[in-house]
Amino acid sequence: MKEQEVLNIFPQELRKRFQYVVQKSDKLQEIRLCVNQPARVLLEYEEFFLCRTGELSKIIGNSSWYISISEMEAILDHICSYSRYAYEEEIGQGFITVPGGHRVGLSGQVILGEDAKVKNIKYIRCMNIRIAHEVKGAADTLIPLIYENGRLCNTLLVAPPGCGKTTMLRDLIRQISDGSSWAEGRQVAVVDERSEIAGSFMGIPGNDMGIRTDVLDGCPKVQGMMMLLRSMAPQVIAVDEVGGKEDRQAIQNILRCGCNVIATMHGSSMEEVKSRGIDESMFERFAFLGKRKGKCVLLKVHKSMGEKIYD
């Protein structure tokens, strides 16, 4: 299933080259494509070069596959369903999410709008396909720590990029929604701004989000949180990658309404969390994620007053 999902990212004529790579889809992290450069694949933090035959090599050789402009255009056309205009906003943000929740990062020449904000990207010449991994049970260690006498605590997951924040959040949502031995299932609402958490395609989540989960796909976080609060009567709202004044205000509004919040944030320490506008009193649990021996793990969890409950 996952193999086919990854293969479907590419147009039919290029799928043969990825046949071998997708067999290792469980270990596959990134596929990096740049015009006039050899195609690279990241398998369990190890870099390989993709050959024209589809095989992997540790060194660049004659058989390495150098991406041509037409190949890059063909991949982009397929990802955009031949309709770049329909992905104007996503391209402007620098990435497109494809079915399965995989994120395709793009770079090229930026087109600025009148307000000097990035409007679009033309001459897209580099692509980073980040493979999403749904790991059921990823939050097994954290789940008992975020309940206090059956009550769910507002929790912030903090980690540097690539340390499994979204994977952890996804599994937390599923377990909170379905219920676990620690608590009954709750009504969860997810604002999935980048379609990464649920991996929705045409409104249907590609990942298991639990039976009591409503997903608002592609909506900006601040607006989405308020919309869901008014319309879906959630007990818990989950969002990815918060930070900044507007996010803080929206979270505070939600907390005032008696709704719980589970969120993630880039960072690695409490100081970084504070510097990004998130007040210590807003969350009751801070879970820090990181890497140990190349694997994403839960490093520590502490309460808002600094009391460590997991290390």
Kindly list the residues in this chain that would bind another protein in the complex (CB under 8 A): 4, 8, 10-13, 15, 74, 77-78, 80-88, 91, 99, 111, 120, 122, 201
The radius of gyration of the chain from alpha carbons, rounded to an integer in Å, stands at: 20
What is each CA distance from 156 to 112, 124, 260, in whole angstroms?
A: 34, 35, 11
Q: Choose between 103 and 174: whose C-beta lies nearer to another protein.
A: 103
**Contact call for residues 213 and 190 (beta carbons, < 8 A):** yes
Cα separation of 270 and 69, whole Å? 44
**Contact call for residues 176 and 211 (beta carbons, < 8 A):** no
Cα separation of 22 and 25, whole Å? 5
| Residue 67: CB minimum distance to another protein, A | 17
**Contact call for residues 254 and 263 (beta carbons, < 8 A):** no
**Contact call for residues 152 and 123 (beta carbons, < 8 A):** no
| Residue 64: CB minimum distance to another protein, A | 24
Q: Choose between 93 and 180: whose C-beta lies nearer to another protein.
A: 93
For the record, the structure tokens of 250 come out as 């929206």
Q: Choose between 12 and 281: whose C-beta lies nearer to another protein.
A: 12
Pairing of strands 102-112, 95-98: antiparallel
Return the closest-CA partner of residue 84 out of 31, 126, 124. 124
Return the closest-CA partner of residue 163 out of 36, 290, 304. 290
Q: Choose between 4 and 23: whose C-beta lies nearer to another protein.
A: 4
- Which residues on adjacent β-strands are paired with residue 118? 112
| Residue 81: CB minimum distance to another protein, A | 4
Q: Choose between 203 and 258: whose C-beta lies nearer to another protein.
A: 203
| Residue 12: CB minimum distance to another protein, A | 4
Q: Choose between 101 and 234: whose C-beta lies nearer to another protein.
A: 101
What is each CA distance from 225 to 9, 117, 222, 278, 283, in whole angstroms?
A: 30, 24, 5, 16, 16
Cα separation of 68 and 121, whole Å? 19
| Residue 97: CB minimum distance to another protein, A | 13
| Residue 88: CB minimum distance to another protein, A | 5
Please, what's the b/e burial string for 222-238 (b: 16 or more CB within 10 A of its CB; e: otherwise)? bebbbebbeeeebbbbb
| Residue 295: CB minimum distance to another protein, A | 32
Q: Choose between 107 and 235: whose C-beta lies nearer to another protein.
A: 107
| Residue 130: CB minimum distance to another protein, A | 18
Q: Choose between 78 and 186: whose C-beta lies nearer to another protein.
A: 78
